[in-house]
Amino acid sequence: MAGKPKAMSQIKQLLRLHKQGDSIKSIARNLGISKNTVKSYISKLGAGTIPVSELMDMEDPLLEGKFHVGSPAYKDPRFEYLRENLAYYAKELESVGMTRLLLYEEYEAGCKPAYSYPQFCFHLRQQLVARRPGMRLEHLPADKLFVDFAGKQMHYINRDTGELIGCQIFVASLPFSDYCFVMAVRSQRVDDFLYALECCLRELGGSPAVLVPDNLKSAVIKANRFEPEINRALEDFANHYGITVIPTRSRKPKDKALVENQVKLVYNRVYARLRNRQFFDIESLNQAIREKVKAHNQTRMQQKPYCREERFLAAEKHLLQPLPGEGFEVKYYSEPKVAHNNHIYLGKDKHYYSVPFAYVGLKVQVIYTRSMVKIYARGKQIAVHIRNLNPAGYSTQKEHLSSHHQHYLDRSPDYYIARAKEKSPELHLLFQMVFGQNRHPEQLYRTCDGLLRLQKTASSEAFSSACELAMECRNFSYMFVERILRNNMVGHQDTAKQEKSLPEHQNIRGKEYYSQSTIKYS
């Protein structure tokens, strides 16, 4: 019995012959086994209480359990002591700096006799594994997408400097078909992560119901076993594509065993097969990765009559949710305060954007993407701007300013000439002559404002006459026109111009007076 246990079908033959009354020698000769083996089984049979007929009817595994009760090592007092302290050992192994050797020294000091160190490690490992069994999960088609970054980088060479540029490798897998997507990106930052994720969905032709990321910072701000805090940018992405985000538990690699296994396959079928090739930009690197991943998806899987691509196209792709027409843009958030000049300052761009002047001093919510800046306050959108990356610049919409400020921005020679044309022809001509002077236009804006104010207060006839007099005298100042109106000079202008005849008198010299050679005075 020290050798290999006999097959139970042979033992049943032994039991049948023994029940018929055959001798030990005859049974051994007929079955081709030793007499000692026959004696051992018959002695076990005699020590038992189960009739031979019932033993004959048992299935082989049950019958084997009656004759071979297991390894005596698990009835050893040394094992009993180890099993009683197993919870303590498992807890202590999680402590910083604790090793199995230190635990063994504690075990050896408390248990006499004790296992050897290899035996201790073997039984400890067996019991810890038995306490945490694995579980096979059934995955539905188009239900989940597992994503992760590979631990090892791939590289390309900078043409200008010869520098080796490392790239992070994004790996995604659909667990139902095991269909794989791989892409190189420059980093694991949010922008690169979401860009790779969007490229993955475009490649798949649809979106799954659930996204299962690892606890990387681009996806999860704060890891928690029960309620992890999702990155807001990833939440926006998921809402855009109609996906639910359920991260894996932290430090639980079994939660994403499929994508972890996919990473191992990527090491073998992508990394290893591209190890001797050189790339000079990330685009050519990704092109090579796509070729190798396509071959991987088209490789027939072991113990299955199909490849990953066949399974995906036949049973999963048509169940994915359709993608929206517009691509996703990463949204950034800010809550600045509206300054006194009714602009908010966007610190990331170092740029100023205008909002309506009624919101001066109020804290507003800003959502900006790669191309647009949207500003909200009191539950409504109050401003939209095209994003401007010009540092220290201003993006101002005129309608956001007060009427006084709008007027100030509107000032120009054309603006004043157009306004004068609406008032009177004389003022229109006067403004044209005002701006015809060799002076900077801004020096003349206040003159025009004053003349427009005079036009409102004076009568139209008097103001038109004052303008004509100013143009005649070539004096276009506000003060000159104002004095004309204040001194009522325009009322005597026509009278002064009329020619009047002289009155009759005796002081008349005739032609004789001018023809004499010697002037005689009377």
pLDDT for 121 equals 83
pLDDT for 283 equals 93
Could you give the strand order of the β-sheet that contains 351-354, starting from the edge strand earlier in sequence?
Answer: 343-346, 351-354, 394-395
β-pairing, 164-174 with 144-149? Answer: antiparallel
Distances (CA, A) of 172 to 193, 256, 304: 11, 11, 21
pLDDT for 72 equals 52
Q: Is 175 exposed, middle or buried (0-12, 13-18, 19+ CB in 10 A)?
A: buried
Alpha carbon distance 154, 160 (integer Å): 19
pLDDT for 495 equals 46
pLDDT for 99 equals 86
Peptide bond between residue 113 and the one before it cis (omega within 30 degrees of 0): yes
pTM: 0.57
191: which 2 tokens?
């922008």
Give the single-character DSSP code of 133. -
pLDDT for 365 equals 93
Mean pLDDT in each 10-residue stretch from start to end of the chain (522 residues)?
A: 69 82 85 84 69 74 66 63 79 82 84 83 74 64 90 91 92 91 91 90 93 77 56 85 82 65 89 92 94 93 88 92 87 88 88 90 89 91 90 85 63 80 85 81 76 84 85 83 81 50 68 65 55
pLDDT for 457 equals 81
Q: What is the dihedral of CA 316, 320, 323, 327, to 10 degrees?
A: -70
Q: 3-class SS at 125?
A: helix
Secondary structure of 449-514 in HEC code, one letter for each residue = HHHHHHHHHCCHHHHHHHHHHHHHHCCCCHHHHHHHHHCCHHHCHHHHHCCCCCCCCCCCCCHHHH
Alpha carbon distance 218, 194 (integer Å): 8
C-alpha triplet 79, 83, 86: angle, nearest 5°: 135
Alpha carbon distance 89, 126 (integer Å): 13
Sign of torsion, CA 145 151 157 160? positive
Q: What is the CATH code for 144-319?
A: 3.30.420.10
376: which 2 tokens?
């909200």
CA 319 to chain centre: 25
Name which of 130, 122, 132 is nearest 79 in CA terms: 122
Name which of 317, 295, 323 is nearest 174 in CA terms: 317
195: which 2 tokens?
């860009």
Listed by start position, the domains of the chain span: 8-70, 73-131, 144-319, 332-403, 411-493
Name which of 258, 275, 266 is nearest 295 in CA terms: 266
Alpha carbon distance 139, 142 (integer Å): 9
